[in-house]
Each structure stands twice: as C-alpha cells, then as structure tokens.
Amino acid sequence: MTIVLVGLPGSGKSTVGRQLARRLAIPFVDSDQVIEQRLGCSIREFFEREGEARFRDIEQDTLDDLTRGQDVVLSTGGGSCMREATRAFLHERGQVIYLRSTPEDIYRRIKHDRGRPLLLVADPLQRLRDLHEARDPQYRECAHYVIETGRPSVATLVNMIVMQL
Ligand code: S3P
C-alpha cells in the first residue's frame, strides 16, 4: 500500500515519512527531490526562472508517475493538493495522510530555512497563515486521515499513522 503524506512546508512530511518507511520496510520517496533530479536544478531556481504554474505541471506529472509503481511512502511538496485532479488521483492510489500543523508551530521549526521559495517573503508567518487557510480544506479533501502534529514526537506520529492504516 502506498502512503502519501501531504501538508504545509515544514509540517514534517520528510522526517515522519523516512521513519514510517523504515517501519513499514518499503522505500521512502520525496517528490521534491525527484523533481529536482528531473529539473537538474533546485526548485527555488526553477520557480524564479519559469514561474509557479510551470512547476505545478511538472509536480503533477511527477506525482502521477510516483504513485503508479511499487508501494512507497511518498512525501509530497506542500502545494501538491492545490489541483483537483491531483487530489483525486492521490486519494485513489494511496492512503493519504494529512500532517496538520499550526502555522505558528511550522514557523518555529523552519524560520531559518532559506530553501523554501514560498516563504522568502517579508512576513513568512503571515504567509504560512494564508497558506494554511487556503490549503487546509484541500488537504482534508485529499486525505483519508488527518494527524495533528503539534506535541507528539516523530516516533509517536509514526505509531499514530500505523494504527490508522
Ligand atoms: C511548495 C512546497 C515545497 C516545494 C515548493 C512549493 C508549496 O515543498 O514543493 O517549494 O507550494 O507549498 P515542501 O512542502 O516539502 O517544503
């Protein structure tokens, strides 16, 4: 069974995904890493050069490819649920887990991280609040389960996910 992790940047998709994959003894795949390999440059550079819409096309194609093959734990980029068509095929092909965090928790975790293009703005916390408001319904629509990531450790989050599967 493929497990798809969705949620805002900094919600722990890669960290939790890696441990979950180890626990389930299936490969871990990070869609952003695969996209960067395909692009031959960083997502940040691509965003700046080609714009967001072009990036979303490539993201959609990559997620499509990655959910057709063997079972994996797939960590997706934070914008993966923005398109209805992508939400639909992710929901159909995997067990989708929404790692739900408050914008404040996320901000605390990633405020020093310069690799996230959407957060390179004057007020990243406000940006996270806006993204949360816009995307929370989209993640919920795509997901089979919602896991609140506030207090629990990564190991506990992995246990919570395994119990839902
Ligand atoms: C994005 C999130 C990023 C990456 C890209 C766009 C978004 O992934 O795909 O910068 O729109 O939220 P992470 O969620 O892994 O940071």
Cα–ligand 1 centroid distance for 78 (angstroms): 4
Please name the helix (run of DSSP H) or strand (run of DSSP E) that holds residue 42, with its range, or none: none
Euclidean distance between CA atoms 132 and 158, whole angstroms: 23
Kindly report the pTM of this predicted structure.
Answer: 0.95
Is the minimum distance from the CB of 20 to ligand 1 under 6 angstroms? no
- Residue 84's nearest CA partner among 131, 5, 9, 138 is 138
Q: How far apart are CA 158 and CA 62, in angstroms?
A: 25
pLDDT of residue 157: 97
The domains found in the chain, sorted by start residue, are: 3-164 (3.40.50.300)
**Model pLDDT for residues 7-63, shown as the tens digit of each residue:** 999 999 999 999 999 999 999 999 999 999 999 999 989 988 999 999 999 999 999
Taking a C-beta distance cutoff of 8 angstroms, is the pair 90, 80 a contact? yes
How far, in Å, from the CA of 160 to the mean position of ligand 1? 24
Our answer on whether the CB atom of 17 is closer than 6 Å to any ligand 1 atom is: no
pLDDT, one tens digit per residue, over 53-112 is 999 999 999 999 999 999 999 999 999 999 999 999 999 999 999 999 999 999 998 888
